[in-house]
Amino acid sequence: MLRLRSVTPPAWAEAVCREPLALLSDHAHCELRAAASSQALINRHTARTDLCDRLAAVAVEEMSHFRQVLALIDERGGTLQPGPPSPYVEGLLAASRRERTDRDDALLDRLLIAGLIEARSLERFELLAVLAPDAGLRALYADLGPSERGHAALFPKLARTHFDGARVDQRAEALEEVEAELLARLDFAPRMHSGAPTAG
């Protein structure tokens, strides 16, 4: 798994749980985006059969998580809200090297960025599984944890299968730093990848 270079404070989990429907709606969009980005990678790297197969399995799992979160939103009398852009995901993608310059560099970066998003989501699911004040949220995040852990391990493994180890290590280190710096700059919001709430 990639290394997270910052730790989400428990105050983040307490704050996002004050608006559970907003958190769940944002989370549902994270699942949709994860499925869509796996499908987009398949489309761009059709000759890498093993990669296509693994990414298809991820997309199927993410869509089943989407349905699980959507059902919980409905159970609570809410509806899925339109998905606003994610400054977290956009910030990470801005650090990714471009497809038109080098297809392989771009793929390596996309795999590592996906691995970082999964690792950060796992960290936050684990906090919510313990700290969420209501049992329904604790159960959801405890349930989704193992799958997220699997994805967080899979993406760096795919990077190592398709690229040289030293090349992966060098890029992983740079992107790990980008991720922590980006998160530190983001404002708090009731969203899965928001910044920490300010004290007071």
Q: Which residues bind Fe ion (CB under 5 A)?
A: 31, 62, 65, 118, 151
CB closer to Fe ion out of 11 and 57: 57
How large is the angle between the packed helices 103-131 and 87-94, nearest 10 degrees? 150
Min separation Cβ 148 and Fe ion, Å: 5
Shortest distance in whole angstroms from residue 34 CB to Fe ion: 5
Residue 30 CB, nearest approach to Fe ion (Å): 7
- Closer of 71 and 103 to Fe ion (Cβ): 71
CA atoms within 13 A on the CB side of 120: 30
Of 76, 34, 40, the residue nearest 58 (C-alpha)? 34
d(CA 114, CA 186): 19
Min CB(199)–Fe ion separation in Å: 31
- Of 35 and 175, nearer to Fe ion (C-beta) is 35
Which alpha helices (H) appear in the chain, and where do they start and end?
10-16, 20-44, 49-75, 87-94, 103-131, 135-162, 165-185
Least distance between Fe ion and beta carbon 92 (Å): 15
Q: Least distance in Å: CB of 73 to Fe ion?
A: 15
Q: Which is nearer to Fe ion, 118 or 179 (CB)?
A: 118
Among residues 117, 113, 118, the alpha carbon closest in space to that of 175 is found at 113
Close Cβ partners of 71 (under 8 Å, ≥ 6 residues apart): none
For Fe ion, give the closer residue by CB, 54 or 151. 151
3-state secondary structure of 196: coil
Cβ proximity to Fe ion: between 138 and 167 the closer is 138
Cβ contact 86:193 at 8 Å: yes
